[in-house]
Structure 1
Amino acid sequence: MRIDIEDLHVAYSGRTVVSGVRLFAAEGEITGLVGPNGSGKSTLLRTVYRHLRPTAGRVLLSGTDLRDLTPVQTARQVAALPQERGDDFELTVREVVAMGRTPYKRAFAGEDATDRDIVARALADVGMHGRTGRRFSELSGGERQRVLLARAFAQDPDVLVLDEPTNHLDMRHQVELLALLRAQRRTTLVSLHDLNAAASVCQRLHVLHEGSVVASGPPREVLTPALLAEVFGVRAVVVDHPLTGDPLIAFDHRSPGTHARSHPTCGTEVAVRQPAREGRGEV
């Protein structure tokens, strides 16, 4: 299932947060949203999973306007891992993951064999199959993250919308999660702060800055030293990863950031589209 976002505007509290965004996520691919804090990534994702209503523009799922779907139809097609994650569930790990089957159940209907198999597989995928009886509220931040991701998998969606899914995860589980997302082969729209992780796992990146998309394309074409200086305010070079061949960003941690419009390693003008300046912020 393909996602198309057409001329999306989102405003709240009298402030425009996303302005004129156009982007797509191809079927079966992992598409990343990257950008500084406050650039509009979370706001855009919340609109895709219907937590927010746009003031203008459309979100299309394989050509169907999201607004034409019922909540149940949406829940069967789109599963989300938001940044706002509950930590007070007085439920067991298994009960939380089983909530992902709700869109497929009639009121008061119990689990069937298919539900049990899907829940068990989702728990195994995130490495939580041995902790099914533990209370969610007793888990560490990283464990909660994996349980909520398993709930999204148990929803068996066509589309995954993930807002910083590697937050709270240690290095091993970050690597395992990214490998798992590749193996899922679902249409995935994900925001990531870690640009090297984004370059590794995403087939396409959209760079957001001040509520607008300023660059789009494959990671190797998008993550240039010039763009990193202009959008993120850092000095960096981009090399080939010695193990995978993916783009690897080496940051200069000894020098202060720069917003210069040229970079000594490329000597060219920054090739980014200038964003609209109607508003800032990401809530």
Structure 2
Amino acid sequence: MRILVLGAGGIGGYYGGALAAAGADVTFLVREGRAAQLARDGLVLASRGAETRRPVRHILAAGPGEGFDLVLLTCKAYDLDGAIEAIVPAVGPETVVLPLLNGLAHVEPLDALFGTGRVLGGACYIAVTLGPDGTIRHTSPGDLILFGAREGDTPWQIEALAVLFARTPVTARASDAILQDLWEKWCMLAAGAALTCLMRGTVGEIMATTAGRSLAEAMIEECRAIAAAAGHAPRPASAEQTRRMLTDSGSRWAASMMRDLEAGAPRLETEAILGDLIRRAAAAGLAAPLLTAAHCQLQVHGARAAA
């Protein structure tokens, strides 16, 4: 199976690099600056106390008729339009696209262009960053990736990808309930981002306040109600994991969006993670006052950054 990975940043570099190291046919579609780093140093990964460097195949543009079987889309939500434009020439009649983006806002434009049956669902649970020097740093204990068909028949690429990942250290699983998995991750991510961004603190710091726990639980409930209205209320195990994670008094965790916010990042995934969820709440006749407050705060940040 021929795989094209859009980007060699944290997510794409980690999972694409693991597949390439296991002998999979992987090509990275990258910009000029990243191409220069890869040509000079290879793909550099710092994970679990070890650093590896390996040469990888990379291109600056995909040509028509490349014959890729699977495209792994690993961009940020705000870069989706440009990413789609970049991969279009690589997508043939039998190609499937596996997006690893947060939320579900990306599904509609991808479906409209490539067709519902050829756009898979994918979710990953990992903390990974790309440093200025091109080093990918894996900072979480886990690296779970889930993928599957959102509806209809299961394309052969899903089983083939599972077989390839089985040759790597990555925890990967083909899922027959990927849409439910996507909603569960979205609920966790939205509640966590809203909580830590609005309060500008870690979970532990927030839990040390008078109202921190009740606010966290209320945000979790807002997300659960929206998912339930869409027919995808989090399953008990997922709901309990999210509750524990966001009410842990000893936790130093904060959403990556909060870290980016405090670092003054000019762009955040505000609309994909919170804006789209709030719009779905309104369409279902639900109020989400705490999510809305966090969304408003992040819009103010975005406007200031743009100015």
TM-score (norm 1): 0.30
Q: Which has the higher contact order (CA 8 A, sep 6+)?
A: 1
Question: Larger % of helix: which?
Answer: 2
Question: Larger % of strand: which?
Answer: 1
TM-score (norm 2): 0.29
